[in-house]
Amino acid sequence: MVEAAPVLRLRGVYSQRLSPVSLDLAAGECAAIAGPSGSGKSLLLRQVADLDPGHGEVELDGVRRSAMRGFEWRRKVVYCQAEAGWWDDHVAPHFTDRAQAQALMQALGLPAEKLDGLVHELSTGERQRLGLVRALAQAPRVLLLDEPTAALDQAATGLVEAALQRYLDGGAAILMVTHSPEQAQRLARRRWRMEAGRLEPLWT
């Protein structure tokens, strides 16, 4: 039986503050990265998303990132930072499909009326979940998640993790930064630790 090609492949991805990283992510796989603040976890996600300058090869479904336009890559490999950026004072303009957005919001425990609200009226946790709604609405092949539940209580965290598992079940992949060993245990097949820009396997 021929093994399926990885969804995401990194080969020697590095920058001034990041030692070379090589890893593969299979369809339906979540991998988690832990480590202290400032160790390079977010730098790696931004490198993969092609948001910061760096070196090395990154492939999506066997296609090199260099063969794709930046906006095309970032539509398929979506970086979801801990605090999403907003370009309008109102929530609704950030979504092109209202019904889809409301369905995703419901799955994450967000009232539908929040879609017609103002960004500054949202709590930190609501903004974080709406940022994830924006990411999931693009149906990316890979999600790069930076502390996706940092501002959420246990109930909201459970809803987010259930939505991420459904996304994985659809054949996509997740590379996630999390400070929660329990979350990594629940979602991730493999775990790494980042120390001073160097990624090492975490076996315990």
Q: Which residue is associated with the tokens 């300058």?
A: 53
Pairing between β-strand 55-60 and β-strand 63-64 as defined by DSSP bridges: antiparallel
How far apart, in whole angstroms, are the C-alpha atoms of residue 67 and residue 198? 27
pLDDT category of residue 83 using cuts at 50, 70 and 90 = confident
Q: What pLDDT, in 10s, does the model give residues 16-48?
A: 999 999 999 999 999 999 999 999 999 999 999
Closest to 181 in 3D by CA, of 28, 30, 25, 34: 34
- Does this model's pTM top 0.85? My answer is yes
Q: What pLDDT, in 10s, does the model give residues 133-161?
A: 999 999 999 999 999 999 899 999 999 99
